Structure 1
């Protein structure tokens, strides 16, 4: 069969550092929901493809701060408890919602079984075989998912080295590609990538003027960027439309409050929660099949159009948050599997970003503008007037951090912890949540708490306090050596 062209699916797995931060409606509950409804089923899907001998199924980005949480003993205990509680809630629902109770009990039982038989030692032991076998291509990133253009170059380089080193410790080797946090870019960053050993990274389609039909080298470097094809990607998930809004799919926002379960289907975008129809899995399965066919047709049409325009086979890169599949969109994993099986049957070469380069989808050099994948495709989400206080606070933390002396002869655990707290305060998530008014107070609180911990540790260290005298809060990146900032 003649290939219509090449398709790459890129999933980006990320949550801010939430473990040890408290429960509903934020903190650990976010982590456990995404773990149960996205990470478990997506890994199960990838393991089945691996068992079939499939290679280069998709490119998977896992941010270091998420990988740390998915391996953390506290988190592992917490999600196990959460899964058991989910099963209890499903049983309790039988008093009023018999069909939902049966469905949820089966779902929770599968999740508990998968976790207890495979996940008890964390995510890394499951991810490494998928990477080593070539089933997935792994993307990494800076340690705590900062918006890199707003970081001092010295701190930017340190955060990236720390993140890549963390991935190497967990999986045996550092990734050659990264999902740049928020696809944030400023001209010249490619040289920092090259120095860190990063050979490819993601940008959003508009940064390439909408021409995402091939990867491009950036500036005068050998570092390659891939752009997200918005025409195809937005069929699934866009600011206003997409498959998950279909009336048959499960409604994410409507809860049965006594049990915390979600009993309704979308029904209609303007239908009040109390008026929504009950969720019907069979009806949702019909929508999955319909939307898988529609997506495959859209990819084939796009590739044929690119071949006609360019005179050669084209490339389509569709990129999404992993959490869309199962967490935000309950039926997402089923749709994902249907698409990944149907595309090759339609004559499309499905591969990874690495595989796309091996297939020859590399264009000439490009000068990228300052950009992101946020609203407006600029830096406004992370540097706009709504977050002026966050931006100012981040600048102050950086200034104070980089004024410290990191030239000690041995590691200083207090200084290492202070640097970890500073990096956590600089996470891009806090500004994003404030701009989007999604738990904005919580986001400001988290940025403030980490900044205060940083300053307290620096102050008490300056007054002669030693690690044994301080309560060093558990956190990610125990390997972090602050002397790397010298």
Structure 2
């Protein structure tokens, strides 16, 4: 008899940041850093487990704002540009620290990181991280769920239930367009719950 169950749920969310009116925008770097240091390494780890024959199941919540940024052509192009700039910097650091062993290994590590991520993003994933996550879900390794459209805290969104309903409907519609199915679960933003939210989610 089972004594209990363990569900590992990873919550992936970033606020929506997109500023075409600015050539460089500080907050967009949050997105680029997260893709480089979190989302692509997560995808690659899952793929390596599958390649090694390790059975695993994870639930990942991809927020609608994050999915929208993954799918945005401008942000994809700017991300490649950012990776190329970081690669140039890493190359300069490798050269600069060649006689400083205490720093040189770190410079080499970052050059390898940016080079590897650039290859994965542009060649393996063809700039489409949503499709990469979808393949893992279709293979039965990931279960991807959604959350509120703007990740707003439901208890503070007001007494008008239409606001909560809209957060759910927009999120589910984006999920269906992205993954070709309805989500099997819903992450309450910031784990905030108000009585009656369950009835909206049930629909």
CA deviation vs aligned residue, 1:13-70 (integer Å, no higher than 9, x gap) = 100111226545x421000000111111001111223334555521100001100101
Q: Name 2:156's counterpart in structure 1.
A: 150
Match in the other structure for 1:105: 111
TM-score, L = length of structure 1: 0.38
Secondary structure in structure 2 of the residue aligned to 1:110: helix
Partner of 2:50: 50
Q: CA deviation at 1:118?
A: 2.3
TM-score (norm 2): 0.87
Say yes or no: does 1:32 pair with 2:32. Answer: yes
Q: Deviations over 1:423-445 (max 9, x none)?
A: xxxxxxxxxxxxxxxxxxxxxxx
Structure 1 residues 5 and 194, CA gap change in structure 2 (3 angstroms): closer
Distance 1:50 1:3, change over 3 A: farther
Distance in 1 (CA, whole Å) between partners of 2:53 and 2:181 is 22
Separation (CA, whole Å) in 1 of partners of 2:29 and 2:147: 24
Deviations along 1:368-396, one digit per CA (max 9) or x if unpaired, are xxxxxxxxxxxxxxxxxxxxxxxxxxxxx
* 3-state SS of paired residue (1:114): helix
Look up the match of 1:90.
90
Q: CA deviation at 1:71?
A: 1.3
What are the ranges of 5 or more consecutive residues in structure 2 without an aligned counterpart? 98-102
Distance 1:4 1:150 in 2: 37
Larger Rg: 1
Separation of aligned partners in 1, 2:155 and 2:201? 13
| Deviation (angstroms), 1:88 | 0.8
Over aligned residues, Cα RMSD in angstroms? Answer: 2.0
SS in 2 for 1:60: strand
Query: Could you say which residue in structure 1 is the equivalent of 2:132?
Result: 126
Compare the two structures and name the one with the higher helix fraction.
2
Match of 2:172 among 164, 167, 180: 164
| Aligned pairs, number | 193
Task: Give me the whole-angstrom Cα distance separating, in 2, the residues matched to 1:47 and 1:122.
Answer: 15
1:43-442 equivalences in 2 (<5 Å): 43-52=43-52, 54=54, 56-94=56-94, 95-96=96-97, 97-151=103-157, 152-195=160-203
Q: 1:81 to 1:158 in 2, by over 3 A?
A: same
Q: Equivalents in 2 of 1:56, 1:65: separation in Å?
A: 27
Report if the CA contact (8 A) 2:164-2:197 is conserved.
no
- Contact 1:50–1:130 (CA under 8 A) maintained in structure 2: no
Q: Give, in angstroms, the shift of residue 117 of structure 1.
A: 1.4
CA distance 1:4–1:88, shift in 2 (3 Å): farther
Which structure is richer in relative contact order (CA contacts within 8 A, separation 6 or more)? 2
CA contact (8 A) 1:55 1:133 kept: no
CA distance in 1, matches of 2:109, 2:162: 52
CA contact (8 A) 1:148 1:184 kept: yes
For structure 1, the residue ranges without an aligned partner over 5 or more in a row are 196-486
Deviation at 1:7, TM superposition (A): 2.4
